[in-house]
Chains A and B, each alone.
Chain A
């Protein structure tokens, strides 16, 4: 007699984790043509051998995430390119795991809503097939993680919704 095989993971958010050690780069006040200004400064960052994540275009520049250890190198590269910039250290990425999140109607919006409700500053959001990634201040990261776990994860079932 065949035995039953257990299957798909529970719906919704299954776990939340924190990755620390990032810095947020903001570039602003670029003059027209803006895209050319962005490309010039992204090249300066690339030439400094710095990998970027979470690139976001803003009306007069861009922002991105780098590892904290590269923040001084990034600042030097941007300074030598005469950019109006800021490099803010002490950033963390909060990862919210939810397999097949696109299949769960409204789940992505719900995670964002809960993150906003936590009152912690969310500087950036991105998503993959099995997780969402939220950038926040490192000092807020554990609180944000706790809030999201409390609101979105059913500890007994390993997920919710």
Chain B
């Protein structure tokens, strides 16, 4: 039994026309002798009437000050995929191909029970096999599964898989069903060497390794989720990223043994960031561990995502996503940390930005007379972004970082900070220069002719 798992993203199921196109792809696959298993995302992208965010907004707008219970939010979010799957299955039926819809749990997908960000712990696809053997095309709701551990309710607890969940569903089903291939259908031709909105002529990469695609996603590109790539890599399932709406052959995600040998894979950019640099010069050496520990402990507690980490002898810095910056500002601006062996001997007062806010001034007034007040000030660079060159260990060749910095310096693009790993070189630059930087690096590193 040759099985192919075909996952269709939000834009591929957004309208009757796009659904018809997607359905024809499924039928074509069936006619080629495969047994297709379909996975769908919710209908449309952010803002669309039945998109996940829109459904969650229905809860949030009841009272923006009361966060929905994670369990209830998962039930609401899962409705998007259920609607999408039922509509897709019915569309298949109207084209003369009987189909059956399966919720994640019905498809045998078991999770670890973490609401909003569950991980798949196992899949028993017995119901999908039965459906296939009965001549149906199974249509599975992406992004969801059930937790049946410890104290399960009847049928288990519905949990969603978090970011990139439908890709993960497809990849995991591919492994459980021992599929011949997993195809992720979207509205671009595959993995591009750069965001086509920034570099129109960015080529589609014909082959990328699992590592490359995971690193590209880690650094901000929305291609296929690293979890999906990881599962495909582990089970050695051929993974493809294709365009629903064109006949482009797409991108094949392959193992390292098939690495095409190029030096640089692409240029990515991470969205809107705010860079903070805490000046610790005034912090007494014995207190450094306490203060730095407090900074990072607080960031961990509030679940803040960090980029471009930088620990120095007299400072520590990092970039945070702009939508998380209000939390950071709220927590740190005016934060007071008393310190002393016998009672309060000194007080550290945190300040975000050059000028003290009202909050900081109020705290300073209240702290008068309590002993020395030492300001820990964070300089702030708003509106920046991270642009990265992604590749393999070829990136570690002498002079590569020099080339990146030289190219940007020649065009007066100010590099605020750098970061690198085995697979990437990144620069933090003003957001207003993102388009120029991406295009420039793409051009100078010859990425137009990658294949």
Contact = CB atoms under 8 A, between A and B. Distances in A.
Nearest to A63: B312
B301 interface: yes
B423 A103 contact: no
A15 interface: no
Contact of A129 (B114, B117, B214, B306): B214
B224 to A, nearest CB: 12
Given A106-B304, A112-B306, A112-B311, 14 more contacts: A4-B122, A4-B123, A5-B176, A7-B231, A8-B119, A50-B398, A56-B312, A99-B226, A108-B305, A113-B293, A116-B293, A117-B289, A126-B421, A130-B214
Interface stretch (A38-46, A80-88, A140-148): A38-46
A18 interface: no
Interface string A107-145: 111101100110100111111111001000000000000
B309 A57 contact: no
B424 interface: yes
Interface stretch (B6-14, B258-266, B348-356, B411-419): B411-419
A155 interface: no
A112 B296 contact: yes
A105 interface: yes
A49 interface: yes
A102 B117 CA distance: 12
Contact of A55 (B172, B292, B416, B420): B420
A56 B311 CA distance: 9
Nearest to A3: B124
A1 B309 CA distance: 50
Contacts of A126: 309, 419-421
Contacts of B409: 35-36, 39
A54 to B, nearest CB: 6
Contact of A103 (B112, B125, B163, B211): B163
A105 to B, nearest CB: 3
Contacts of B122: 4-7
Interface residues of A, number: 55
A29 interface: no
Interface in A1-29: 1-9, 11
Nearest to A26: B313
B398 A99 contact: no
B398 A100 contact: no
B305 A42 contact: no
Closest 8 CB pairs of A and B: A105-B303, A46-B399, A129-B218, A109-B299, A113-B296, A109-B300, A110-B300, A106-B300
Interface in B199-229: 211, 214-215, 217-218, 226-227
Nearest to B112: A11
Nearest to B176: A5
B215 A128 contact: yes
B422 interface: yes
A57 B289 contact: no
Nearest to B235: A5
Contacts of A116: 289, 292-293, 296
Interface of B: 108, 110, 112, 114, 117, 119-126, 129, 162-163, 168, 172, 175-176, 211, 214-215, 217-218, 226-227, 230-231, 289, 292-293, 296-297, 299-306, 309-312, 396-399, 401-402, 405-406, 409, 415-424
A53 B420 contact: yes
A128 B300 contact: no
A130 B405 CA distance: 26
A20 B120 CA distance: 36
Given A42-B401, A45-B398, A128 B421 contact: yes
A36 B402 CA distance: 11
A102 B218 contact: yes
17 contacts: A2-B126, A5-B172, A7-B119, A7-B123, A8-B168, A8-B227, A9-B230, A11-B112, A100-B227, A102-B305, A109-B297, A109-B300, A110-B300, A112-B311, A126-B420, A127-B309, A129-B423
A75 interface: no
A18 to B, nearest CB: 16
Contact of A54 (B120, B231, B301, B420): B420
Contacts of B129: 2
A121 to B, nearest CB: 9
Select the residue from A43, A49, A126 with max chain B CB neighbours within 10 A. Answer: A126
A100 B234 CA distance: 14
Contacts of A119: 289
B120 A4 contact: no
B142 to A, nearest CB: 15
Contacts of A117: 289, 293
A51 B396 contact: yes
A106 B214 CA distance: 19
A52 interface: yes
B386 to A, nearest CB: 12
A122 B401 contact: no
